[in-house]
Structure 1
Amino acid sequence: MSYDGVGPRAVMRSVAFLTAGALAVPLLTGCGSEDETSKPLAGQDIAPAARAQVTQGGTLRWAVDTVPETFNTFQSDADATTTRVAQAVLPSLYRIDENGRAQRNPAYLESAKVVDSEPKQVVLYKLNQQAVWSDGREIGAADFAAQWRALSGKDSAYWTARNAGYDRIEKIERGENDLEVRVTFARPYADWQSLFSPLYPKQVMGTPDSFNDGARRKLKVTAGPFVVKKVDRKNEQVRLARNPRWWGRPAKLSEIVLTAVPREKRAAALAAGKLDLAEIDPAAAQRIDSASAAKGAAGPRSVASGSSGAAEKKADDKPSEADKADKASKADKADTSLAGFEVRRSLEPAYTQLALNGADGPLADERVRRAVARALDRTELAALVLKPLGLPAVPVGSHLALSGQEAYADGSGALGGQDTAEAQALLADAGWVAGGPIKEETGEKAAGAKGEKSKDKKSDEKKEEKEEKKEKDKNEEDKNKDDDGTYIVGQDGKAPGETTGGKELAQDGKQQLTHPHQGGAPGAYAPKGTAAPAGAAAGALAKNGKALSLRFVLPSGPGSESLRQVATRISRMLAKVGIRTETVKVADDSYFKDHVASGSYDLALYSWPASAFPATDARPIYAKPQPAADGSLNVEQNYTRVGTDQVDQLFDQAISTLDEGEERDLIRKADTRIWAAAGSIPLYQRPQLTAARKNLANAGAFGFQTPVYEDMGFLEKGARPAAHPSGK
């Protein structure tokens, strides 16, 4: 399952421009100061070393999730490995730094700036005069123009997954010389720095046939520190070799071999000496930590003599003492082999959220959604996942940025923190009361539109209670075992591409409730005087004869135990305010397609990657769903189906201003509105655990930063990397 990825820009989205209108949206109060500069919660952990300390040559064997189906990052089936290859072999005019901010890449750009804003926005790019493609041709305006035409959305023959920003370009011209490119926009575009990264040669972008098929299985022409040397699909490897035409700092490594290795097999591959670098789960991290700590203290136990007799054993025989000794010896040997590795820790540029489906059912009432949010102790949930790993257990305060990024501000105050009484009051105001009569339903009616309800409710409840007890008992033992959040939209290819579209919106004019004693968003609190129902936590709440029960859909795969632990803790928190949950575990391969994307859930846990360009990339995630021409609902990437006209207009204003400070303020205002709507509740930033050979420098847990491939390599004998950011 993918942990690194191309981000939401790899998924199809609407790029329709909506007129902002005259709606005045006041700034909603958050927990942080707008002028306060945030810092990443955890720094990158890559064993940084000066290039002089890194040996020349060597092969880095790096575990990835897949050998990609395409090397064209602008196609719908591009994945995390597609992006990893593109970063190493193609131009990126801007790279993301350790604070999650876009920085000019001097290997390709001498400068880039807006030289005109009236009557139209014009950006002038001045290219590095040494920048050439691997076939010797200079990078220039023809490549920019070919990419614009392919991604503009005007020619349906190009099978593109996204065109945000490119659809706003009016023309691309050569400047005063071959090293200058002038890009004129038909409409202002704040996130112009997001464009042309990566940049493909005109040989790939020039025609629909070359775009659709030419870069799927190979990349003949590139322009990075590495080139694609060989794609071995039989052995599931992509081999990158040092680019002899690279004009920048020469790559230290001779080769990088990207090998597809399942997460659960990576510890064994590391122990067998087949990998040098791999993202791992907490269980593997614990093994590596233990092996490193035990090295030199006591040697591995000797292998028990004699045959284990496995061939003669019957199916019902108990393991012999020889079996146990042999198994323990093999485990010790594997762990000893892991002593040459260390775990590099950071936080991924992605956050896990609780999604609330507001399309129908109880959660269509925003008071119920807010009650769910007010029932959650987000700090406790963050600590459950991050504290055992030694990472900062701080809940995420924004939907649109993470701590360290310029747009970040804690907007959760627009909704409010954990408050059981307030949650119960919101539910009471919505008509859900304790002790009300409940009509029993049977058959298809009981199953409901969302389907898959249990036929034997009592049996299911007993089973769920048993599972929760078992999970609770194992919590301390297993909390480091598996990944916290398997699913990142747009990075693992499991979220289907959505159709694009959009229309100009009118103000919805919905009346919202206001609590006179709170400073958050209108409607975030129950009206003054609303009583919390007595004994709500003791039994289910009911309304119109129906119990308040929410269907909590989760993936059932072996890599999601920790995610299910979070869900169990959430269910207990909701029970305290009278909300029952029905946990439904589904197959991993159907989790997104058949449940989240289709709207067949009430509650779900999944993650979104952060972006340096939230005005562009986050808009389709929170855009108000619109009716399509065929009568269906176009939700873009808004799988909660919760959106407002105000949020849409704030995004439109943000993407159309060329004032960076104004854009940042508008993004923060949009975030507070998203908090107030309570369609999704950010919980925690995802942990990033990477096993790395101890002498590998400038690689590991990258955090926000785009990897600098030319600086990676193995330390010279006797050289030591810079101190670990945590002081270890």
Structure 2
Amino acid sequence: MSHEGAGRRSVMRSVAFLTTGVLAVPALAACSSEEKEAPPTARQDLGSASRAKLADGATARWAVDALPKTLNAYQSDADEATSRVAGAVLPSMFRLDAQGRPARDADFLESAKVVETDPQVVLYKLDQRAVWSDGREIGAADFVAQWHALSGKNSAYWTARNAGYNRIAKIERGDNDLQVRVTFKKKYADWRSLFSPLYPKQVMGSPDAFNEDARKALKITAGPFAPEQRKKGAKASEDRLTLVRNPRWWGERAKLDKLVLRAVPAARRLDALRKGEIDIAALEPGDARRISGAAEGQAAGGAPAAGPGAARGPAQALRSWAVVHGSDEQAADKEKEVRAKAERARQAFAEEQQGLGRYEIRKSLEPAFTQLALNGASGPLTDDRVRRAVARAIDRGRIARSVLGPLGLPAKPVGSHLALAGQLGYADGSGALGAQDTDEAQALLADAGWVPGGPLRKGGKKDEETDARADTGTEKGTKDTKKSEAEAPGSDGGDEGKKTARPSGEAGAPDDGKAAQDKPHSQPGGAPGAYAPKGTAAPGGSTAGLLAKDGKALTLRFVLPSGPGSRSLREVGADISKMLGRIGIRTQLVKVADEDYFKDHIAAGEYDMALYSWPATAFPATDARPIYAKPVPAADGSLNVEQNYTRVGTDYIDQLFDKATTELDSGDVAGLMRKADARIWAAAGSLPLYQRPQLVAVRKDLANVGAYGFESPRYEDIGFLKSAGHGGPAAHRGTPGAGEPGKDQDRAKEDESAGSGKEKAADKEKATGGEKDSGRESGKPSAEPSAEEKGGTGPDKKSGKPSAEESPKASDKESGAADGRESDKE
């Protein structure tokens, strides 16, 4: 996932990460003397190189989840691809640095500062070279048009947000055309979040241009790149969007001729890398390991000890030889077929390793975290004691280690809802809730009236059988679970269920008595029968070890996405279910289609527990408020939850956010946000678990791109390293396996020739079944996705959709540039 600085926040509000699971930038004044910068927990990994070492020209192909539905970052369906385009082609007054702080973009802004405080006035001084692609200077007219469009006063503009713009009283020209004075009606701490990105007045000046025209094309831009303009009558590509070097750009000249965003399905991304169809792609951990294995094998001078036949030892080989040369002709023929099939699989695997060996994995942590959401609007979780009990039963550290540890990334649980480790003002506020403590969790449940082995009403046996086993995802699950899985396209419940099922210990019941041993049997409230003579029957209708109240079992409906990019979420969900089962809480694991996960379940409140990711933000006072604001009744009687999908909030939390937005000192803002975070922890509506991993496959000779962490990309610095023999991209970037300049050919000609060798290899591989699916391992969101968390789809807050950690996408082949790199084949 990429992050486009302050401009990114407009998209982040649009969608919370949906599966695997980026808040925005601290809009604060200078750091106060008491505030210390937290060291980053994971450094960015970009394959950094100086511009002098990069070749001029060539095309880089960047996989995205999907082409942008709109190019207007202020619309509700803007997504990560929208942000990526905006970051490359539009001005932003501020962008993010490596610590997630807003930093002035010197290509557009000479300075920006508060010059008056009552009322607050911010004076922007623009770079005198800054012009739009039509030659017009960037100036006050563009600021005014964007303010009018996003202020919320004109309902004809279909905007996703107006935060900050609705506080502006007026915008006027300063002493000259390069100065813009913005006067606020009320003090606004997060003023640095505004005008990033900045659109030209031609886009913001009318509702039609804003609502429709800017969705499909941006004719006037100002950045190192510009969208390639289609010829009149030409159809838009369905799988690629091409950005070309902007000849009017006044900053450092972009090293690439073209940057192509390509949509590649998650299931096809590894194959696209193997075939050399893309150069940059975010991956899930399982696929990333295959890239790393291929690179290690090449470094060792051969294929890694993996793949088909890797586990075959001398004894098996000797037995096979004996069968082939034995007297049983039928057995010999059968063994020959087996060996031939194995050989084809080995050859296909070797070809894959050769193709994947051109890439390396660049890794860091995404500025996004995966959380467990607890719905406080209905069911047992309306009781804050039950929510706190659930939170105290979960070992967040163990979950973080299981997801991030195998990737070699810092594996500490997230300690704040409002900042991530490494960001200014980060502080661990989880002490307001308390650490994992089984005894305390059981005490909270007992205080709320939920006791082990309580009598159930008629039908209790059915409840027990249904709920205690539902977490397996198999045919033993509830009717609701099976129905959801059957209706959910792409659900993999059967296979995965068999994998996660525990024969003798479902999530809702102790494992072979192991969990029961953890229970305080010597105390009241322990296992039923602890004080009765041996052999005494349990009370009629009771359920030993499981909690009940008023004749009803304590069951929580745990909704998870079912798509292939959500595997790690489901693994985390299974771990959480097991942890809750040890204190007697049953869970129904219900898997639903990714496309229905947010709309029909999270936003609609049709869940008790769910996993999704939120992006981090540099402006928590503004960006995080709607996520944790107390829901209020709407005029029509419904509940207005904004983006608070847990439906848990308090008046005091709202007051802390409101006060923080009016403070101009960063220390005061940080202090208020720490107080708010402590209250959010205590309310136990959401439980941050871990920061999502960021794993990006990149060509080894492609520099200054990869796992950015918090920092906004500098698109003009992305480029291919000069080869030892010539000034263009390294020779091996031609056809797979090419190692000399003579083999650095134009791939477009290969693609046009019938019977291409690569196509034959792919067909052969498909026919033999040589390619193996790589299972998604733990890691996110995404999806935190995510994540992606998919992060998959990128974490955005504009529309408020949580991220479900999906992998990025790309497809097709581009053709060659004069220096040996492919050019775009439209």
| TM-score past 0.5 threshold | yes
What CA distance in whole angstroms lies between the structure 1 residues aligned with 2:47 and 2:524? Answer: 53
Change (3 A) 1:459 1:44: closer
Aligned partners of 2:682 and 2:143: how far apart in 1? 41
Cα deviation digits, residues 293-336 of structure 1 (max 9, x gap): 111533699999xxxxxxxxxxxx99854333223311220111
Matched residue, 1:691: 697
- CA change 1:303–1:570 in 2 (3 A) is closer
CA change 1:555–1:152 in 2 (3 A) is: same
Residue in 2 aligned with 1:360?
Answer: 378
Change (3 A) 1:94 1:12: closer
Task: Report the Cα offset of residue 49 of structure 1.
Answer: 1.1
TM-superposed deviation, 1:234? 3.4
Letter in 2 for 1:259: R
1:152 aligns with 2:151: yes
- Confirm whether residue 297 of structure 1 aligns to residue 289 of structure 2: no
- Distance 1:472-1:60 versus aligned 2 partners, 3 A rule: farther
Counterpart of 2:398, as a letter, is E
In structure 1, distance between residues paired with 2:524 and 2:113 = 57
Partner of 1:67: 67
- Matching residue's letter, 1:251: A
Shift of 1:34: 8.2
Higher mean C-alpha deviation, range 465-474 or range 711-720: 465-474
Q: Given the alignment of the two structures, is residue 562 of structure 1 paired with residue 568 of structure 2, yes or no?
A: yes
**Could you tell me which residue of structure 2 aligns to residue 527 of structure 1?**
none
The 3 A distance-change label for structure 1 pair 303 and 646 is closer
Match of 2:425 in 1: 407
Mark the CA change 1:269 to 1:544 in structure 2 (over 3 Å): closer, same or farther: same
Pair 1:643–1:557, CA change in 2 (3 A): same
Q: Give the equivalent residue in structure 1 for 2:445.
A: 427
Q: Which moves more between the two structures, 281-290 or 607-616?
A: 281-290
Q: Is the 8 A contact 1:8 1:618 kept in 2?
A: no
> What SS does structure 1 have at the residue aligned with 2:133?
coil
Matches within 5 A, 1:108-507: 108-118=108-118, 120-230=119-229, 233-295=236-298, 297-298=301-302, 320-441=338-459, 460=478, 470-471=499-500
Alignment partner of 1:221: what SS?
Answer: coil
Aligned pair 1:575/2:581, yes or no?
Answer: yes
> Using the alignment, how far apart are the partners of 1:303 and 1:379 within structure 2?
36
How far apart in 2 are the matches of 1:72 and 1:633?
29
Deviation by residue 1:120-169 (Cα, 9 ceiling, x = unmatched): 11100000011000000000000000000000000000010111100000
| Residues 100 and 612, structure 1, Cα contact 8 Å, conserved in 2 | yes
Cα distance in 2 for partners of 1:112, 1:367 equals 48
Residues 505-520 of structure 1: pairs in structure 2 closer than 5 A: none
Alignment of 1:39-118 (within 5 A): 39-118=39-118
Partner SS state of residue 591, structure 2? strand
Q: Deviations over 1:195-238 (max 9, x none)?
A: 00000000000011111112111100000000001477434111
- In 2, distance between residues paired with 1:254 and 1:466? 46
Q: CA deviation at 1:73?
A: 0.2
Aligned counterpart, 1:477: none
8 Å contact kept, 1:225–1:243:
yes
Q: Quick one: distance in 1 between partners of 2:393 and 2:36? A: 29
Q: Distance in 2 between matches of 1:364 and 1:379?
A: 26
- Cα deviation for residue 453 of structure 1 reads 13
Task: State the alpha-carbon separation in 2 of the partners of residues 439 and 332 from structure 1.
Answer: 62
Letter matched to residue 361 of structure 2: V
Q: Give the Å deviation of 1:657.
A: 1.1
CA displacement at 1:12 relative to structure 2: 6.6
The alpha-carbon deviation at position 534 of structure 1 amounts to 1.3
Shift of 1:68: 1.0
Distance 1:578 1:379 in 2: 21
Aligned mates of 2:79, 2:159 — CA distance in 1: 14
For residues 56 and 443 of structure 1, do their structure 2 counterparts lie closer, same or farther at Cα, with a shift above 3 Å needed? Answer: same
Equivalent residue letter for 1:240 = L
Cα separation, 2, equivalents of 1:459 and 1:276 = 43
The 5 Å alignment of 1:7-46 reads 9-10=10-11, 35-46=35-46
**Cα contact 1:34–1:409 (8 A) shared by 2:** no
Quote the residue 2:612 is aligned against: 606
Do the aligned partners of residues 365 and 115 (structure 1) sit closer, same or farther apart at CA in structure 2, a change above 3 Å counting? same
Contact 2:389 2:444 in 1 (8 A): yes
Cα deviation digits, residues 425-447 of structure 1 (max 9, x gap): 11111111112101145999999
- Structure 2 CA distance for aligned equivalents of residues 74 and 663 of structure 1: 26
The verdict on how the C-alpha distance between 1:327 and 1:168 changes in structure 2, with shifts beyond 3 A counting, is same
Following superposition, the deviation at residue 361 of structure 1 comes to: 0.9
Task: Say whether the 8 Å CA contact 1:11–1:76 is kept in structure 2.
Answer: no
CA drift at 1:37: 3.1
C-alpha RMSD of the superposition: 3.3
Q: Do the aligned residues in 1 keep the contact of 2:288 with 2:361 (CA within 8 Å)?
A: yes
Does the C-alpha gap of structure 1 residues 350 and 538 become closer, same or farther in structure 2, counting only changes over 3 Å?
A: farther
Write the deviation string for residues 345-388 of structure 1: whole angstroms up to 9, x where unpaired: 00111000000000011100000000011001101000111111
Compute the displacement of 1:470 (Å). Answer: 2.1
Please give the residue correspondences for 1:638-653 in structure 2 after superposition, counting only pairs within 5 Å.
Answer: 638-653=644-659
Q: Secondary structure at the match of 2:215?
A: coil
Q: One-letter code of the match for 1:408?
A: Y
The one-letter amino acid of 1:90's match is L
Is the CA contact 2:653–2:676 (under 8 Å) kept in the aligned structure 1?
yes
State how far apart, in whole Å, the 2-side matches of 1:299 and 1:331 are.
9
Q: CA deviation at 1:11?
A: 6.6
Classify the secondary structure of the residue corresponding to 2:352: helix
Instruction: Supply the AA of the counterpart residue of 1:160.
Output: T
| Number of equivalenced pairs | 629
- How far apart are residue 467 of structure 1 and its match? 5.8
- Aligned partners of 1:555 and 1:350: how far apart in 2? 18
CA contact (8 A) 1:625 1:636 kept: yes
SS of the aligned residue for 1:216 comes to helix
How far apart, in 2, do the equivalents of 1:424 and 1:182 lie?
59
2:106 match: secondary structure: coil
- The structure with the larger Rg is 2
Identity %: 60
Q: TM-score, normalised by structure 1?
A: 0.81
Question: What's the offset of the Cα at 1:717?
Answer: 2.2
User: What TM-score do you get using the length of structure 2 for normalisation?
Assistant: 0.72
Q: 1:466 to 1:579 in 2, by over 3 A?
A: farther
Partners of 1:52 and 1:197 lie apart in 2 by 30
Question: Aligned partners of 2:182 and 2:354: how far apart in 1?
Answer: 57
SS of residue matched to 2:610: strand
Query: Residues 291 and 359 of structure 2 are in contact (CA less than 8 Å); yes or no, is this contact kept in structure 1?
Result: yes
Task: Tell me by how many angstroms 1:38 deviates.
Answer: 1.5
Displacement of 1:704 in angstroms is 0.6
Task: Please tell me whether the aligned partners of residues 2 and 713 of structure 2 are also in contact (alpha carbons under 8 angstroms).
Answer: no
Q: What is the alpha-carbon distance in structure 2 between the residues aligned to residue 444 and residue 8 of structure 1?
A: 48
Segments of 5+ residues of structure 1 without an aligned counterpart are: 14-32, 305-316, 475-530, 722-728
* Whole-angstrom CA distance in 1 between matches of 2:570 and 2:496: 11
Counterpart Cα distance in 1 of 2:476 and 2:197: 55
CA contact (8 A) 2:2 2:84 kept: no
